[in-house]
Structure 1
Amino acid sequence: MELAEQIDDSTFCTMNDEAPTRVMSICNSSPDIAIASGGQINSITWRPMLTLASDHLPIIISIEKPPDFVSVDNRTLINFNKANRVDFTGFTESTFNALPIPSDVSVGERQFRKVIVAATARFILAGRIAALRSNFPAEADRDTLRHANPGKPRVRDLNLKIW
């Protein structure tokens, strides 16, 4: 009862319908609960799948992409051209010198990786560039300009502004 009250007080909805998720010879029940945000509930279908292997039915949850769904590439881009190489080197050298001699190869490799990851996070620019740029003028798009005329001075100026 407490779970039902918490769901009622939230922005979530239950996806279960009246179909049982546990089928036994003496009774049917629905001990499984699936919830989703209210904004997505109309895009989701929920159905238990009848099988012979168990009294607990597997539940199939399908999410239909809305027609205006936009897929975004989730890559991290690293800009080595603007890396602070001097500080990167200084940081790694001082950190390596401060570390004790590792007891075995795997400990040494783990320490090495940890130092490199920390230095990379501090001194090399990285991030995700949003694929969607609404109302972004086509003439200012660096890639379009670069492909059309790589020697154009505007391409160099845009390259300097990135990051």
Structure 2
Amino acid sequence: MNLRALISQGEGERLEFKKKTTHPTRIARTLASLANTHGGQVLVGVDDDGRVVGVRDAEEEMFVLREAAAHYIDPPLTLEFREIETEGEHIVLVIKVAESHNKPHRAQIAPASGGATCACAMKACRPAPLPRRSWSASSPQPDSKKFRLTRMSCAYSTTSKPPSRALR
């Protein structure tokens, strides 16, 4: 895998740069977004401008990502990890998120945020309550204290570009 070629593509619908993972709830939105669309990759240790900064502790970063995928997303996701060492001796994590066959995935909301999290994680989406009978007996509703589930009125279509400006 050529890291430079991947970074030169820039961030987009299938590629996200993260300097580091700070908390499972924050990265969970990105992971759910990729799984709910066409899948993609997250590069941890790369600034938003494409500069390689590396990760301090690759194991810690992978722990946070595994926690997010297993405990902060419903249904949980399986991730593929790869460590790449650059010429400057930086470590970059490449996380592959496959397009899911169990859509939609919902990311847990950070307790302080109070807002709903869209499956696509775009700021242009507005929350709407889920219909009462949206869960079947074969797919029980997750613990309502842990997840604030919503259906989103999404301004982002997987076949088009993101909206030019976010709705507030």
Based on CA coordinates, which of the two structures has the bigger radius of gyration?
A: 1
Greater fraction strand: 2
TM-score normalised by L of structure 1: 0.17
Where relative contact order (Cα < 8 A, 6+ residues apart) is larger, the structure is 2
Higher normalized helix content (fraction of residues): 1
